[in-house]
Amino acid sequence: MNVTRVHDESYVTLATNENYALGALTLGQSLRNTNTNRRLTVLITTEVPQLLVDQLKSVYDFVELVDVLDSQDSANLALLKRPELGVTFTKLHCWRLTQYRKCVFLDSDCLVLHNVDDLFNSEEFSAVSDIGWPDCFNSGVFVFRPSLDTYSRLLDFAVSQGSFDGGDQGLLNAFYPNWNRLSFVYNMTTNASYSYAPAYKQFKNTVKIVHFIGAQKPWYHTYNLDTQNVIGNVTVHEGDLINQWWRVFTQWVLPHLNNETKNRMRVQLVSRTPLVEQQQSQLVQQQEQQGFHQEQPQEQVYATGKVVGGVEIGSDVHKQKWEHGQIEYTGRDAFANIQAHLDAQIKK
């Protein structure tokens, strides 16, 4: 569908590595699916592989390489138990996008469910209250005006005042004490410990932007292509939202990923469909060419506590191998073995 773009306004996101580039691709496509008439911009660092940069250029109107800004505030970040948030200071580069009159920033772990172009009617600085401390705003979604002067003052403030949480959220809340409060539907956090389940049930159809806060992002979950459901211990409403992320990803992003990227990304797919079978076959061929030996599937081999190939099924080591993409599609982790394990659990 052809949409006339408003060229002086843009949605902006940030991808600091290949996993968040995966999120940015899905976010960008979710925005496209709402028929937005604003431009899409993504800031990237050198940690994003060139193959993904090329794909980002097919979704975003403008892709800009930026330097990583680190808060170097290990003490405060330790309080959050999220030391990786230091690099989110790189988010400050979005104030340098002076080709735009106004922008809406979205973290790359967000998913847009309905058109939110009305956000551009809000002024700087507009954001949604943080559920952990509602007097503060969550910096995953906010409306701002790019300005080199503001960018300079933010950097000076960061150096002189720091951030009370070590990340961009603490810095921005201190810099913008008088902010305009937006409805929670523009930045609904999914973490089960934060969400108010009865309210979600009442208002879920009005939610416009979902924000997958916390360390466990949608792309770290295992997803069954056949049932279109996430596999794992998640609440009903959280699972529903993660499923929506995966549906956008599998329909619009996955088909365009090259094999090298698929194998590197933490994408966990379970399916009997030809697509995944083909991917598994290609992976096996690559491993055989590299001299790897894979054991053949054995009936009922996927049983918790059983040691296969030196790895105990269900152990932390096994989990880490899954999370790092070290999956034995034709051996320990073959679909037939997983299915046998699920069948055994159901019978219990």
Q: Average pLDDT per run of 10 along the chain, which is 348 residues long? A: 83 95 97 97 95 95 93 76 76 97 98 98 97 95 98 91 90 97 94 65 92 90 88 80 94 89 66 54 49 40 62 68 56 65 67
**126 and 21: one domain?**
yes
Specify the pLDDT at position 22. 95
The verdict on residue 257 lying in a domain is no
In a domain, 256, yes or no: no
pLDDT at residue 235, as a whole number: 75
Cα separation, 294 vs 299, whole angstroms? 16
* Segments in the chain forming alpha helices (H): 18-33, 50-59, 74-80, 148-161, 168-175, 197-203, 236-248, 259-264, 274-289, 316-323, 335-347
Terminal Cα distance for the chain, rounded: 51
Residue position matching structure tokens 């159901």: 346
Give the model's pLDDT for residue 292. 38
Whether residue 98 sits in one domain with residue 197: yes
pLDDT of 307 reads: 63
- pLDDT value for 296: 38
> What per-residue confidence (pLDDT) applies to 77?
75
Asked, as a colleague might, if the bond just before 89 is cis with ω within 30 of 0, I would say: no
Among positive and negative, which fits the CA dihedral 151, 182, 221, 52? negative
Residue 262 within any structural domain of the chain:
no
Return the CATH number at 89. Answer: 3.90.550.10
The pLDDT of residue 213 is 92
Distances (CA, A) of 54 to 110, 252, 262: 21, 15, 15
Query: What residues make up the domain containing 300?
Result: 276-348
Structural domains of the chain, count: 2
Same domain, 195 and 311: no
| Structure tokens that stand for 281 in this block | 């076959």
Residue 322 shares a structural domain with residue 197: no
What's the rounded Cα separation, in Å, for the pair 152 and 158?
10
Neighbours of 240 (CB within 10 A): 16
pLDDT at 288: 47
Q: Of the candidates 206, 227, 257, which is a domain's last residue?
A: 206
Shared domain check, 172 and 282: no
Dig out the tokens for 76 from the structure: 């405060």
Of 211, 246, 265, the closest CA to residue 17 belongs to 265
My answer on whether 117 and 32 are in the same domain is: yes
Q: What is the largest CA-CA distance in the chain?
A: 66
Residue 283 and residue 181 share a domain: no
Cα gap 181→135, rounded to integer Å: 10
Cα 342 from Cα 337, distance rounded (Å): 9
